[in-house]
């Protein structure tokens, strides 16, 4: 039942490797078949393995010979060109993979920070003794993002509902403009950048985490709690 994503590496287990070989060779053959049929082109595949005494070819030895003949008509220079193309392709794939890893890490980071923020809200304090400055900076950024979101919603409410601005403010009193300034994120931690705009955050990390939270006005006024997960 395909427990996990198969990692692209040599399969050590002999039986599993052979089983995979059989299945995938069949699948590959089918793909070649489909490509030629769907697109009306010529193609062939050659597989040489210890499981078969001879190379296995598709769609037929004749087809292979034909394709090969064409390939051989290529001047050496052209063949080299193709080779370079192949190399370029691999480089592109590597680059793309790296980009994906980068994006994945970014997403993971954001999720971590969301979790951390929620834990902080639950505990009523920041457990910053275990956090690095980078963590705190990222957390600050995330919270700012959330605050901006709250602010946007507030504006929408003020414009579209029958609620007065002051009533709306009472629902989310922390969403004050002084906290809305964009944070210069992604360039490492810098205590000197935007410090004044993140006053609430600075206040927080300069104390010991067991006093009023920036969100205290909402429902955690006296937020300290012996059980870190139960407000």
Partner DNA sequence: CTGTCTATCTATAAATC
Partner DNA sequence: TGATTTATAGATAGACA
Backbone angle region of 194, left / alpha / beta, with phi > 0 → left and psi within -120 to 50 → alpha:
left
| 8 A C-beta contact, residue 139 and residue 117 | yes
- Return the number of other C-beta atoms located less than 10 Å from residue 28's C-beta: 14
Residue 35: HSE in the Cβ half-sphere, 13 Å Cα cutoff: 13
Collapse the DSSP code of 198 into the 3-class scheme (helix H, G, I; strand E, B; otherwise coil) and give the result. helix
- Return the number of other C-beta atoms located less than 10 Å from residue 41's C-beta: 8
Is residue 31 at the binding interface for DNA, with CB under 7 A as the rule? yes
Site string for DNA, 65-94 (x = CB under 7 A): ---------------------------x--
> Among residues 27 and 182, whose Cβ is nearest to a second copy?
27
> Among residues 26 and 176, whose Cβ is nearest to DNA?
26
How many angstroms separate the CA atoms of 45 and 28, rounded?
Answer: 8
Shortest approach of DNA to residue 10 CB, angstroms? Answer: 13
Binding residue (CB under 7 A) for DNA from 9, 10, 12, 26:
26
Q: Which residues in 2-21 contact DNA (CB under 7 A)?
A: 2-6, 15-16, 18-20
Is residue 30 at the binding interface for DNA, with CB under 7 A as the rule? yes
From the list DNA, a second copy, none, partner contacted by residue 178 (C-beta under 5 to 8 A by kind): none
Shortest approach of DNA to residue 102 CB, angstroms? Answer: 11
Helix (H) or strand (E) holding 57: strand 56-58
> Among residues 83 and 118, whose Cβ is nearest to a second copy?
83
| 8 A C-beta contact, residue 43 and residue 67 | yes
Binding site for DNA (CB under 7 A): 1-6, 15-16, 18-20, 22-24, 26-28, 30-31, 34, 92
């Amino acid at each position: 039942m395909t427990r996990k994503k198969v990692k692209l590496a040599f399969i050590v287990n002999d039986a599993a490797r052979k089983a995979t070989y059989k299945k995938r060779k069949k699948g590959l053959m089918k793909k070649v078949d489909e490509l030629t049929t769907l697109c009306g082109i010529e193609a062939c595949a050659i597989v040489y393995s210890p499981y078969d005494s001879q190379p296995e070819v598709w769609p037929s030895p004749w087809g292979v010979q034909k394709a090969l003949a064409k390939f051989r008509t290529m001047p050496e220079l052209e063949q080299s060109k193709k080779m370079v193309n192949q190399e370029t392709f691999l480089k592109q794939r590597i680059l793309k993979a790296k980009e994906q890893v980068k994006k994945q890490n970014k997403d993971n980071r954001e999720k971590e920070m969301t979790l951390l923020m929620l834990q902080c809200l639950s505990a009523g304090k920041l457990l910053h003794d275990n956090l690095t400055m980078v963590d705190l900076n990222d957390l600050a950024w995330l919270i700012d993002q959330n605050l901006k979101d709250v602010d946007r919603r507030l504006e929408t409410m003020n414009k579209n509902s029958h609620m007065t601005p002051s009533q709306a403010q009472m629902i989310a009193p922390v969403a004050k403009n002084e906290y809305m300034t964009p944070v210069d994120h992604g360039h490492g931690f810098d205590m000197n950048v935007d410090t004044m705009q993140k006053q609430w955050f600075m206040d927080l990390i300069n104390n010991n985490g067991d006093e009023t939270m920036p969100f205290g006005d909402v429902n955690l006024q006296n937020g300290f709690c012996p059980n870190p997960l139960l407000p």
